[in-house]
Chains A and B, each alone.
Chain A
Amino acid sequence: MNARPPIAMLAELTHRCPLSCPYCSNPIELARIDSELDTETWKRVFREAAEIGVLQLHLSGGEPASRRDLTELIAAAREAGLYTNLITSGIGLTERRLHELDEAGLDHIQLSLQGTDAAMADDIGGYRGGFDRKMQVAGWIKEIGFPLTLNAVMHRRNLHQLPRSIELAVEMGARRIEVATVQFHGWALKNRDTLMPTMEQARETDAIVTEARKRLKGMLVIDYVPADYHSDYPKRCMGGWATTGLNVTPDGEVLPCHAAQTIPHLQFDNVRESHLRDIWYDGSAFNAYRGTDWMQEPCQSCDRKLKDFGGCRCQAMAIVGDAAATDPVCIKSPHHGALQLQADAHAHSDRKNLVHRTAPGKPIPEPAE
């Protein structure tokens, strides 16, 4: 298999987080603090990443600011030649710490947004005072002059706040906003009844984004992740399995995407035992769905197969029960009709209570019946 070098690496430094968002992309089984990679191992992994061609390093979590060695890690990543992007809720960042990150060479900050007011944001994040703190952090980010992307995670509860989210991004001096409709993996799967947007909301969101892109051209770049259960074609997940990026979990497992552990037959290598180069090129999980040989019909004979690579493997696993199946979002999938009905049922559910994610090592809640 001829694979090209990876461009991006997502380093999930920890699963610890002060927030407990009900759509958290972390796995249901969270890594505990005593299993986290230590500072020196992460530094080595950053050097290995740069050696094999990674250009962009996304430092995420959990909340990466929960790592006390964050500044040292960012300095090491810059030293290795990587472009460093901190993906944070802002909680845990003080003004002083932001100045230290500035000195360490941090290139860019991506700040998450759970809602445009404290009532919404603190309810979703499960952390009282979180919104006010975030606004304070956003002010420091602007003062220091870090380039900023606002990452607005949207769902049925807060989609009416999208126009205000876009305004907030402009006020914060962000160059970019990601309008990211919740992707239903991990914890979000437990909350489809409360978070699934309606078809009408999805189409209205398309219109708001189109209008704002035109109006704010040259001022604010808008990246948009539409509600994919309500789409006709699947997303080009990860730009194609094992073509562009890799993900390292807090305990050192290397994944082709953040949800890959939901595919039960895959085996993952660990940075404690292997060089990233060997994992990227020869790891069995990376080669499982690389290219197009693994595809079934209707993907195999489809003229879109190099466009979307059959969509998301984890979604095919979660909904169809076969990770090599066509993503059921696709209109060519025999499961597309059922998915649309299911999406519609979730979107019109009366359920109100959210299942918030827990802390590493704590019991996993189930939605109340």
Chain B
Amino acid sequence: MIDREDIPFLPRGVRLHFDKVRDQWVLLAPERAVTLDQVGQAILSELDGIRSFGTITEDLASRYNAPAEEIAKDTGGFLGALLDRRFLELRR
């Protein structure tokens, strides 16, 4: 579970990469390459190591004109799965 105050970031060894051959964004991690859809790519490109989960989801909600609660739920689910796979870390 990710709290509003948590600051999510990609740890060393996990990075966004534009795959020119397949024309899509991927998340490169130890021994894994995860294909990202537009939503996933949009979420991960928000991670700057400065803004909190709460701020990021509010920003996304206003940009895409969507209910903040729904965005927080979807983003939390997506990032939570990355957290379990050690592709993401949190700091306060």
Instruction: Name A's B-contacting residues (CB within 8 A).
Output: 5, 7-8, 51-53, 55-56, 58, 81, 83, 85, 107-108, 110, 145-147, 149, 175-176, 217-221
Q: List 11 A-B contacts (CB under 8 A).
A: A8-B33, A56-B28, A56-B33, A58-B31, A83-B17, A108-B13, A147-B12, A149-B30, A175-B86, A218-B84, A220-B86
8 further contact pairs, Cβ within 8 A, besides A107-B15, A221-B86? A51-B21, A53-B22, A81-B17, A85-B31, A146-B13, A147-B13, A217-B84, A218-B86
Of the candidates B21, B31, B85, the one whose C-beta lies within 8 Å of that of A56 is B31
Say whether B19 faces chain A, with CB atoms less than 8 Å apart.
Answer: yes
* Bound complex: CA A7 to CA B26 (Å): 11
- Asked whether, in the complex, the Cβ of A145 is within 8 Å of the Cβ of B17, the reply is no
State the Cβ distance, A59 to closest chain B Cβ, in Å: 13
Of the candidates A55, A175, A221, the one whose C-beta lies within 8 Å of that of B26 is A55
Say whether B61 faces chain A, with CB atoms less than 8 Å apart.
Answer: no
Say whether B68 faces chain A, with CB atoms less than 8 Å apart.
Answer: no
- Asked whether, in the complex, the Cβ of A55 is within 8 Å of the Cβ of B17, the reply is yes
- Asked whether, in the complex, the Cβ of B83 is within 8 Å of the Cβ of A218, the reply is yes
Name the residue of chain B whose CB is nearest to the CB of A219: B86
- Asked whether, in the complex, the Cβ of B31 is within 8 Å of the Cβ of A108, the reply is yes
* Bound complex: CA A176 to CA B31 (Å): 10
* Bound complex: CA A145 to CA B12 (Å): 8
* Bound complex: CA A83 to CA B32 (Å): 10
- Asked whether, in the complex, the Cβ of B30 is within 8 Å of the Cβ of A53, the reply is no
- Asked whether, in the complex, the Cβ of A52 is within 8 Å of the Cβ of B21, the reply is yes
- Asked whether, in the complex, the Cβ of B21 is within 8 Å of the Cβ of A83, the reply is no
State the Cβ distance, B28 to closest chain A Cβ, in Å: 4
- Asked whether, in the complex, the Cβ of B30 is within 8 Å of the Cβ of A85, the reply is yes
Q: Residue among B11, B17, B26, B28 with the most chain A CB within 10 A?
A: B28
Report chain B residues within 8 Å CB of A53: 19, 21-22
State the Cβ distance, B79 to closest chain A Cβ, in Å: 12
Q: A55-B17, A55-B28, A147-B13 are in contact. Are A83 and B33 (CB under 8 A)?
A: yes
Name the residue of chain B whose CB is nearest to the CB of A4: B22
- Asked whether, in the complex, the Cβ of A176 is within 8 Å of the Cβ of B33, the reply is no
Of the candidates A51, A55, A176, the one whose C-beta lies within 8 Å of that of B19 is A55
Name the residue of chain B whose CB is nearest to the CB of A108: B30
- Asked whether, in the complex, the Cβ of B33 is within 8 Å of the Cβ of A55, the reply is yes
- Asked whether, in the complex, the Cβ of B30 is within 8 Å of the Cβ of A147, the reply is yes
* Bound complex: CA A151 to CA B73 (Å): 35
* Bound complex: CA A224 to CA B15 (Å): 24
Report chain A residues within 8 Å CB of B30: 85, 107-108, 110, 147, 149, 175-176
State the Cβ distance, A110 to closest chain B Cβ, in Å: 8
State the Cβ distance, B17 to closest chain A Cβ, in Å: 7
State the Cβ distance, B33 to closest chain A Cβ, in Å: 5
Report chain A residues within 8 Å CB of B11: 147
* Interface positions of B from 7 to 65, Cβ below 8 Å from A: 11-15, 17, 19, 21-22, 26, 28, 30-33
Q: A83-B28, A147-B30 are in contact. Are A5 and B21 (CB under 8 A)?
A: yes
* Bound complex: CA A219 to CA B31 (Å): 17
State the Cβ distance, B53 to closest chain A Cβ, in Å: 16
- Asked whether, in the complex, the Cβ of A221 is within 8 Å of the Cβ of B28, the reply is no
* Bound complex: CA A218 to CA B82 (Å): 9
Report chain B residues within 8 Å CB of A108: 13, 30-31
Report chain A residues within 8 Å CB of B32: 56
Name the residue of chain B whose CB is nearest to the CB of A87: B31
* Bound complex: CA A55 to CA B11 (Å): 19
Q: Residue among A85, A110, A218, A221 with the most chain B CB within 10 A?
A: A221
Report chain A residues within 8 Å CB of B22: 5, 53
Report chain A residues within 8 Å CB of B14: 147
* Bound complex: CA A175 to CA B15 (Å): 15
State the Cβ distance, A17 to closest chain B Cβ, in Å: 21
* Bound complex: CA A52 to CA B21 (Å): 7
* Bound complex: CA A110 to CA B30 (Å): 9
Report chain B residues within 8 Å CB of A85: 30-31
